[in-house]
A = this chain, B = another copy of it.
Amino acid sequence: MKPDPVKMDAEPERRPATAYEVAELAGVSQSAVSRVFTPGASVSAAMREKVQDAAQQLGYRPNLVARSLITRRSSLIGVAVPGTANPFYQAALDALSTSFARIGYRVLLFTSDPLAGSDPILEEVLRYRVDALVLISTSLSSHFADECLQQGLPVVMLNRKTDGDSVPSVAGDNRRGAKELAAFLLAGKHRRFAYVAGLEHSSTNRDREAGFLEGLAERKIRHVERVVGNYSAGDTELVVRKLLSSTTPPDAIFCANDYMALVAINLARAEFQLNVGTDVSIVGFDDIEMARWPIFGLTTYSQPVKVMVQRVVQVVQRQLSAAVVPAVQHIVDGELIVRGSARVPQTGVVRSADQWTWHSRKHRGISR
């Protein structure tokens, strides 16, 4: 119940205290207050104490808006994330938020419509003068990319690439991963293959599809049943149902990501009473947390989110400091994680850390 030390008005203090008010109370100049709250400024101990005392009393907090205006840096990172339930995005966003927080940045969130273009939303972001833009599985018009480039605004894509090489990106090894999965399924003596595509225009989907087909083509497999799940649970359920209802259903299904694969497993088991891993093999891509839940036991190709995010942060930092940085397309290695959702080949499976992995002959024994 200690009384307000400054004034006893009935009206509650309606606006936050300013540096000027602190200065007045402490009997110093306003710039002295600024210095006390600027790391690495030169202030005497006496001054620091006086100011901090006054600040404490008034509940003063530096106004970052005002600071941003003059420093031209907001310490905000705009992050676009698709508005779907795919746990991969949650993991990525979480890691991004945590990693950037560690180096003094906050995340300004933008939910992007996975179907529509994200330009209008990003247009908005720029007004907030974010220091950088990170796009999780979100595409970008090249026009907009140019504009950002011109304004010197760092942009990085996570889990997606642009067509040109104008925007740096960090992604998993989609092509190789999908190819390995194809080789894995081939080695497991599967015969009838199906591909459940994600969003048609996403680079991840294209690369994974290309890799998968490429892998199959090496063994002269040309026929692959193709359906489109659009990375959505609803669509996936529909198309996988169709797939499994066929008179000659596939015995190997590659879903372009884990989320769709989980939906597929679910459907195969609950609706078709299939034993996933023996009656039908289902594999995915990402290695999200639930993939390793025993109930799913999804065989998949991993995308190490933590590593990818760390790389994103690096790229942003580099762009922030250097004047001009080449727009590198970073590829983060993954591994084929063997669990129970697909028939396991006789050879090639090895113990690695606390899980089983598989490497095609071509890649076996390649040291890293």
Q: B152 and A15: CB pair below 8 A? A: yes
Closest to A97 in B: B111
Q: Count copies of this chain in the complex.
A: 2
Judging by beta carbons under 8 Å apart, are B111 and A108 in contact? no
User: Is the Cβ of B13 less than 8 Å from the Cβ of A151?
Assistant: yes
A-B contact pairs, 14 of them (CB 8 A): A13-B151, A15-B151, A16-B151, A59-B147, A59-B151, A64-B127, A69-B69, A76-B108, A85-B289, A101-B110, A106-B128, A109-B109, A269-B295, A295-B295
Residue picked from A65, A68, A97, most chain B C-beta under 10 Å: A65
Answer whether residue A87 sits at the interface, using C-beta atoms and an 8 A cutoff: yes
Among B15, B61, B85, point to the contact of A126 (Cβ < 8 A).
Answer: B61
Q: Contact between B65 and A14 (Cβ–Cβ < 8 Å)?
A: no
- Least CB distance, A19 to chain B, in whole angstroms: 12
* Other contacts beyond A89-B90, A93-B109: 17, CB < 8 A: A13-B151, A14-B152, A16-B151, A59-B151, A61-B127, A64-B127, A65-B65, A65-B69, A85-B87, A85-B289, A90-B90, A94-B111, A98-B111, A108-B108, A266-B295, A270-B294, A270-B295
* Cβ–Cβ < 8 Å partners of A110 in chain B: 97, 101, 106
Q: Which residue of B lies closest to A12 (CB)?
A: B150
Nearest Cβ distance between residue A154 and chain B, in whole angstroms?
13
Given known pairs A109-B109, A152-B14, the reply for A85 and B91 (CB within 8 Å) is yes
Chain B min CB distance to A259 (Å): 11
Instruction: Check A36 for interface membership: any CB of B closer than 8 A.
Output: no
Cβ of A63 within 8 Å of any chain B Cβ, yes or no, is yes
Q: A108: which of B91, B109, B271 is its contact (CB, 8 Å)?
A: B109
Within 8 Å by CB of A127, from B63, B85, B108, B150, lies B63
- In chain A, positions 1-60 with a C-beta closer than 8 Å to chain B are 12-16, 59
In the assembled complex, how far is the CB of residue A173 from the closest CB belonging to chain B, in whole angstroms? Answer: 24
The reply on A233 being an interface residue by CB < 8 A is: yes
Residues of B within 8 A of A188 (CB): none
Within 8 Å by CB of A65, from B94, B128, B233, B262, lies B128
Q: Which of B12, B108, B265 is the one whose CB lies under 8 Å from A106?
A: B108
Give every chain B residue within 8 A of A83 (Cβ-Cβ). 94, 97-98
A196 contacts the other chain (CB 8 A): no
Q: Mark A60-82, 1 if CB is under 8 A from B, else 0.
A: 01111110110010101001000
- Give complex CA distance A233, B85 in Å: 18
Q: Tell me if A226 counts as interface (CB < 8 A to partner B).
A: no
**CB atoms of A266 and B294 under 8 A apart:** yes
| Residues A107 and B106 in contact, CB atoms below 8 Å apart | no
Check if A354 is an interface residue, CB within 8 A of chain B.
no
A129 touches B64 (CB 8 A): yes
Contact residue among B15, B62, B66, B271 (Cβ-Cβ distance under 8 Å from A69): B66
Q: How far is the CA of A14 from the CA of B151 in the complex (A)?
A: 5
> Smallest Cβ distance from A38 to chain B, in angstroms?
13
With an 8 A cutoff between CB atoms, is A313 at the interface? no
CA distance A106 to B78 in the complex (A): 10
The 3 A-B pairs of least Cβ separation, nearest first, read: A270-B294, A266-B295, A107-B109
| A318 CB to nearest B CB, Å | 17
| A327 within 8 Å of B (CB atoms) | no
Question: Is A239 engaged at the interface, CB distance under 8 Å to the other chain?
Answer: no
